[in-house]
């Protein structure tokens, strides 16, 4: 069984010479299938750069990154885009739904260029909405949903391609407490079903749901703590 994430001596430098910014200084990180990992760090710690590396949104200056067994470092932009689409389900703080499109159509979007027939796309999108408890809201527009429901639609969209992992960037940052609890409950349930989840967050409340908490400071991982056993319910 391959790790979902295998990072070795990962470095990212912006600029050259005396003005160079060393955002990552040699990061090692392994995430296995079924893990739920929270990555935490203050502003400027390198947390966002690490997110960009793990999400194949940027490539490292040096070091190795294998995503579900695939080497990332030498891929071109088109290859990175294909890998992102097939292996990563993104969940963003700002939701990024299409406003005048139904929940079902929003969830279908990652499948549009897959070559699947429309009926199969619909079937998969409905199944993803069912997983997040929103099959009864499939025809609703984002404006007709609560903040927590909108983010759950975004989670369904992230799931619909069957990715190797969910990568969530501050997924509860725009939500009230009740909506936060709803979304974190969905993450807990998905992880209990074997989904690999990596959450970038600054909120202790979010990190408490993870099995591991990885802390980043000055471009390095300064702690990597197992907080509860895989399969345990928070």
Give the chain's domains with CATH numbers. 34-57+88-226 (3.40.50.300)
193 conformational bin, left if phi > 0, alpha if psi -120 to 50, beta if neither: alpha
**What would the two tokens of residue 42 be?**
């203050």
Q: Residue 187: its pLDDT value, please?
A: 97
pLDDT at 234 over 70: no
Q: What is the pLDDT of residue 49?
A: 94
Taking CA atoms, 193 is separated from 35, 190, 198, in Å, by 11, 5, 15
At 166 the pLDDT is: 97
pLDDT of 106 > 60? The answer is yes
Point out which residues pair with 186 in neighbouring strands: none
pLDDT at 29 over 60: yes
Average pLDDT (50-58) is 93
Would you give the DSSP letter of residue 128?
A: H
What gap in Å lies between CA 60 and CA 82, rounded to an integer?
Answer: 18
Alpha carbon distance 81, 15 (integer Å): 24
């Amino acid at each position: 069984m391959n790790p979902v994430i295998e990072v070795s001596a990962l470095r990212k430098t912006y600029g050259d010479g005396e003005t160079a910014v060393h955002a990552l200084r040699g990061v090692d990180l392994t995430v296995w299938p079924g893990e739920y990992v929270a990555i935490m760090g203050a502003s400027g710690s390198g947390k966002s750069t690490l997110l960009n590396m793990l999400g194949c949104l940027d490539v490292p200056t040096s070091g190795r990154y294998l995503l579900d067994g695939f080497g990332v470092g030498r891929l071109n932009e088109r290859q990175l885009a294909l890998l992102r689409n097939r292996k990563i389900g993104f969940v963003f703080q700002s939701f990024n739904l299409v406003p005048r499109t139904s929940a079902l159509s929003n969830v279908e979007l990652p499948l549009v260029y897959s070559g699947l027939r429309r009926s199969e796309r619909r079937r998969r999108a409905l199944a993803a909405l069912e997983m997040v408890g929103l099959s009864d809201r499939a025809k609703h527009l984002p404006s007709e949903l609560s903040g927590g429901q909108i983010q759950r639609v975004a989670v369904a969209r992230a799931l619909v391609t069957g990715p190797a992992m969910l990568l969530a960037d501050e997924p509860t940052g725009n939500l009230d407490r009740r909506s936060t609890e709803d979304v974190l409950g969905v993450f807990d349930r998905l992880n209990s079903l074997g989904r690999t989840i990596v959450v970038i967050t600054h909120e202790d409340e979010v990190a408490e749901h993870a099995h591991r908490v990885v802390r980043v400071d000055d471009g390095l991982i300064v702690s990597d703590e197992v907080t509860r056993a895989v399969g345990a319910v928070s």
